[in-house]
Every structure is written in structure tokens, then in C-alpha cells.
Amino acid sequence: MTPPPPSTSFTRATDSASQIRSILTSSTSTSSTSSSTPLTHPRIAIVCGSGLGGLASTINASPRVEITYADVPNFPVSTVQGHAGKLVFGTMGSEGREVGVVLLVGRAQEIVLTSGCGSFYEGHTMDLVSFTTRVCKVLGVETMIVTNAAGGINPDYAVGDIMMLNDHLNLPGLAGISPLVGPNADDFGVRFPPLSDAYDLELRRRVHKMWKEIGLHDGKRRLHEGTYAFAAGPSFETRAECRMLRIIGADVVGMSTVPEIVVARHCNMRVLAFSLVTNNVVSEASVRGDDPAIQDMSKDELKAYLETGSAAHAEVLEAGREASEDMIRLVKRVVEEL
């Protein structure tokens, strides 16, 4: 019996992976053959969210190769501030224990969902938003570590805290907007992949131990586990929407990550994901127009009063810069232990 032809997704991902390997091979042609192997066949992919591009500093100085998304066929191009839009290949770990990694700086779905490889809110399809995940699978990636910037909904979370995902709410997915819609790519996975085990428990157990081992539990920043709510954006959530999300179980909310997680699990990859809490959402009911407290305020005073606590992209980037050092230490330790 003639085997079925490869799916369109697999063909496109293979074309992109072939171009990437060609660039990597030519870039390391003057190096030893052994040094190119972890580059062309990385075991771990790390997705750097808003303001967290500094994670690229976790890679060893050599060998190291950077490839812009624009140089890879089928990749969307990053347009959002805070997302550089490149692949960084290299190794992490001490000498003799190096592991091949690839960092996605500026995620695809964020150009399509918010920036990096493309964001959903910029008009890219959900399939394109998560395309880089399939390319990682073809390259040989076994584990995907995803980071993002998110708004804190849980009142116990403070700006600068880190939440490790143990579940998610896929709001666009519940409405039928999923990267898996359409003919199934059998080359990657089954038609109906389970997601009740999306976030690897063994990896999460390791992270809690590492958090204490490297002394982060003694600082002002706390590590939580919780549920990430994925909203398509690009506008931030309203007060009523934030209250609704809290009621249905969300601890943080953001505009990325979940499409990558869905595709990674469809490809049978292990997943570990972190949200950096960059702001606390505004969930209090909006002030009424007949509130006595505002009757004598000027137009500018009313605007400032209403905008108190609202999120801004600049705020997201600043919180990312402040917390990046701890995130870098944690991710580096996780990879070294893998």
C-alpha cells in the first residue's frame, strides 16, 4: 500500500529546517564537525517572550550562530517592539555536558499574535503563528521552554513574580481558532491530542527544587504555579473581562504561548512554560459618571483617574528587564539539568 504523501505543514517545516541547517553548516564550516552537530540538531528550544530576549546570554560563547527570521523560508517577520525576530543556535552547560539549544528571540506567533515570528492580531493565521514549533520538531527538538510576559489576575501575584504554567484557558481555541484546525498533519501527531498533561510534571518538580537550590526563594520575587489565559489581543482586557477570567480560574492573562504549547504537544514534545508578571490587571468596576468623587475633576484629571493601573507595552518591557536576571539563572539551570 502506497504511504500517504507528507502533509503541507510537514513539507513547509522540512523546507525551513533544511535552509536553517544549510546556513548552520556553512557558518561552522571552519569549525570541527563535532561542534556543528548540536547546532544542527538542537535538543531544547527556548521561546523568549516580551522583554526577555536577554535569555540569549545563557548560550555559550562558541559555537553560536544567529539567523534572522527573514532568512528562513515560510517564517513570518517580527514587527513588535521587544521582539528581535531571530533564531540563536548554540550550546548551554559546562564543558563536556553541553546540550544543543535554539532560542527563538521574538516569537512567531507574536508577529502573528503579538510579534516574534508573527502575531495573530497582525493578521497571520494561527497555523503560521505556531509554525516555528513544527520547524523545531523537524530540527530534532525534544523539549520546549516557553516564556512570556503576562498580566497578573490572581491578587496574590506581584509585579516581577514568575508563574510556571500547569494549565491554560485557550479562549480563541474554544471559539474554534486553533493551529490544529484543518486536515491533521499525521507526520507530527494524532488528530485529537490530549492537553490535560500539557505541562510536564517532572520538569515542574525540578524547577521548584532548582528555585531553592540557586537561592531565588530568598529574594523578593516569588515562584507560583497557575493557569494562563490566552486572549487573542491586540487590545488589553477590559475590567469586566479580567473579572470574568478570574472567576473561571485564570491567574494571569496574555496574548501568546498557548498556540505553541498546543502544537508542541501535538508533536509529542515536552513542555515547560513561564509567565513573568509584568503588571497587575485592572479588574475593579469602572467608576460611575455620577460618582460624587469625580464631579469637580477637570477633563485631564478624569482621564488620569480612569487610567490608573492600566497596562502599557513599555511597562511590560521594563518589568522584563528588571526580572530577566532571575529568569536567566532559572532557565539556564533547568537546561543544564536536562
pLDDT number for residue 115: 35
pLDDT at 136 over 70: yes
User: pLDDT tens-digit profile of 228-282?
Assistant: 999 988 888 889 999 999 999 999 999 889 999 999 999 999 999 999 998 888 8
Q: Using an 8 Å Cβ cutoff, are 48 and 55 in contact?
A: yes
DSSP 266-292: HTT-EEEEEEEEEEE---SPPPPTT-G
**pLDDT of 8 above 80:** yes
Q: Is the peptide bond before 234 cis (omega within 30 degrees of 0)?
A: yes
- Residue with more model confidence, 232 or 118: 232
Question: Is there a contact between 125 and 99 (Cβ–Cβ < 8 Å)?
Answer: no
List the grid coordinates of 93.
Answer: 552547560
Q: What is the pLDDT of residue 114?
A: 34
Predicted confidence (pLDDT) at residue 227 exceeds the cutoff of 70:
yes
Q: With the C-alpha atoms ordered 183, 185, 191, 193, is the resulting torsion angle positive or negative?
A: negative
- pLDDT for 45: 95
pLDDT digits (tens, 9 = 90+) for 52-78: 677 787 788 888 999 988 889 888 765
82: left (phi over 0), alpha (psi -120 to 50) or beta: left
**Confidence band for 48, pLDDT divided at 50, 70 and 90:** confident
* Choice between 314 and 273, residue whose per-residue pLDDT is larger: 273
> Domains of the chain (ranges plus CATH)?
33-337 (3.40.50.1580)
